[in-house]
């Protein structure tokens, strides 16, 4: 176990370093001078130069990279060119919208997908199964932001159950905040739930055909006992991987869904950063999201190894 763990940690660190170098270099080739942009077209060249110094833009490339990375480690992301406040503060504020949204969606998607996938597999080729397969085929094809617009049309405009957008903030109380995140979370969750339900179904169909399930039945377990105690537990392993992968899709998806509902999350922040050439904001948000993806992949790998000892031996 420990050899496997060490190997995974090393590869986690290497991935993070590589990702940070890529993000840094890509944004370094950006045409246009942030200092000149901040001061406007008619700025005095000397003032621009002074600002460049202040922002640390005149330091050598390698030095700037290390300043940035060590800053990240201490939680100092630098100062936003346009907001003139620490980027860390901006991100922390927005994270309180995007992260709960992604987690909310992940929970919803799991709650929908697991029962649906299990029922479809347990009653293979039944009407329920055929319906699930047809519905999920549609679910996969639906763009989440379009689905979000339809939800607004039905639940906000026609039925007036939810507001069409905006976020009251967590200060308004958890209930109000969660209520504002409900339609966005449903919009994010449904396409993901479709994929997850299909994975759950096919994984369960595989385990249901295994010898140990037949043995369990021969031992005298009922069909549902064998299903729950043996088949479902083993079917969860591939499902876990997809679940981990989905978290990164949900975070990225949240960026888009935030646009539909005018939520003040990371997505709004990063798109404003692009239009205002506030590259330090863009750089930090992208790094944060990539970090999240890499970390989740790592955690899934570890969880996988804990769940299935065979994998530890294979990889170690």
Site membership for another protein, residue 249 (CB under 8 A): yes
Half-sphere exposure of 176 (CA within 13 A, CB side): 8
Q: Give the residue from 94, 115, 110, 99 showing the smallest Cα distance to 246.
A: 110
Alpha-helical runs (H) found in 85-126: 87-122
HSE at residue 222, side-chain half, CA atoms within 13 A, is: 2
List all residues 6 or more positions away from 54 whose beta carbon is below 8 Å from its beta carbon.
Answer: none
Candidate segments 29-37, 43-51, 219-227, 306-314, binder of another protein by CB under 8 A: 29-37
> Of 142 and 303, which CB lies nearer to another protein in the complex structure?
142
Does residue 146 touch another protein according to CB under 8 A?
A: yes
Helix (H, G, I), strand (E, B) or coil at 168: coil
What contacts 142, CB < 8 A, 6 or more positions away?
A: 190, 191
Min CB(290)–another protein separation in Å:
5
* Packed helices 279-307 and 61-73: angle between N→C axes, nearest 10 degrees: 60
CA separation for the pair 74, 201 (Å, rounded): 44
Integer Cα distance of 274 and 213 in angstroms:
54
Per rule CB under 8 A, is residue 206 in the interface with another protein? Answer: yes
Question: Contact region for another protein (CB under 8 A) — 36-44, 58-66, 86-94, 135-143?
Answer: 135-143
Which segment (41-49, 63-71, 193-201, 305-313) binds another protein by CB under 8 A? 193-201
Closer to another protein by Cβ: residue 134 or 309 = 134
Give how many residues touch another protein by CB under 8 A: 52
- Per-residue string for binding with another protein, 211-240, x by CB under 8 A? ------------------------------
Q: Is 138 in the site for another protein (CB under 8 A)?
A: yes
Query: If you write DSSP's letter for every residue of 179-224 in order, what string do you get?
Result: HHHHHHHHHHHHHHHHHHHHHHHHHHHHHHTSHHHHHHHHTT--HH
- Interaction with another protein in 173-192: which residues (CB under 8 A)? none
Residue from 8, 94, 198, 230 touching another protein (CB under 8 A): that is: 198
Give dist(CA 28, CA 30) in Å, integer. 5
- Indicate the residue among 15 and 82 with the shorter CB distance to another protein: 15
Among 35, 118, 199, 226, binds another protein (CB under 8 A): 199
- Is 31 a binder of another protein (CB under 8 A)? yes
Nearer to another protein, 104 or 147 (CB): 147
If the CB atoms of residues 46 and 275 are measured against another protein, the closer one turns out to be 275
- Of 1, 30, 107, 111, the one binding another protein (CB under 8 A) is 30
Among 38, 97, 226, 294, binds another protein (CB under 8 A): 294
- Of 17-25, 63-71, 168-176, 222-230, the window that binds another protein (rule: CB under 8 A) is 17-25
By CB under 8 A, residue 117 contacts another protein: no
Q: How far apart are CA 209 and CA 216, in angstroms?
A: 12
DSSP H or E segment with residue 288: helix 279-307
**Long-range CB contacts (within 8 A, 24+) of 127-133:** 129/201, 132/197, 132/201, 133/198, 133/201
Instruction: Say if residues 280 and 77 touch (Cβ distance below 8 Å).
Output: yes
Question: 21: which residues sit within 8 A by CB, 6+ positions away?
Answer: 65
Footprint on this chain of another protein (rule: CB under 8 A) = 11, 14-15, 18-19, 22-23, 26-27, 29-31, 137-138, 140-143, 145-146, 149-150, 152-153, 157, 198-199, 201-202, 205-206, 248-249, 251-252, 255-256, 259-260, 267, 270-271, 273-274, 279, 282, 286, 289-290, 293-294, 297
């Amino acid at each position: 176990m420990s050899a496997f763990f060490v190997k995974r940690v090393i590869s986690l660190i290497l991935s993070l370093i590589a990702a940070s170098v890529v993000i840094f270099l890509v944004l370094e080739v950006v045409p246009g001078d942030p200092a000149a942009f901040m001061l406007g077209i008619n700025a005095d060249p000397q003032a621009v130069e002074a600002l460049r110094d202040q922002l640390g833009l005149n330091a050598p490339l390698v030095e700037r990279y290390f300043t940035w990375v060590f800053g990240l480690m201490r939680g100092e992301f630098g100062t936003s060119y346009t907001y003139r406040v620490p980027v860390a503060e901006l991100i922390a504020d927005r994270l309180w919208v995007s992260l709960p949204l992604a987690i909310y969606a992940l929970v919803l998607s799991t709650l929908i997908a697991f029962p649906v996938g299990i029922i479809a597999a347990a009653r293979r080729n039944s009407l329920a199964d055929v319906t699930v397969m047809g519905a999920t085929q549609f679910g996969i094809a639906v763009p989440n932001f379009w689905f979000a617009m339809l939800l607004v049309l039905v639940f906000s405009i026609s039925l007036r159950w939810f507001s069409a957008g905006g976020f009251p903030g967590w200060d308004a109380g958890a209930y109000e905040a969660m209520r504002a995140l409900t339609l966005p979370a449903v919009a994010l969750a449904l396409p993901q739930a479709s994929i997850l339900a299909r994975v759950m179904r096919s994984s369960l169909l595989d385990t249901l055909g295994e010898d140990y399930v037949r043995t369990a039945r021969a031992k005298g377990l009922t069909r549902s006992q064998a299903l729950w105690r043996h088949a479902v537990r083993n079917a969860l392993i591939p499902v876990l991987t997809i679940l981990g992968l989905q978290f990164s899709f949900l975070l990225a998806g949240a960026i888009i869904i935030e646009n539909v509902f005018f939520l003040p999350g990371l997505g709004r922040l990063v798109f404003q950063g692009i239009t205002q050439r506030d590259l330090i904001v863009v750089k930090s948000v992208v790094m944060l999201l990539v970090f999240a993806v890499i970390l989740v992949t790592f955690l899934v790998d570890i969880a996988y190894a804990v769940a299935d000892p065979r994998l530890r031996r294979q990889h170690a």
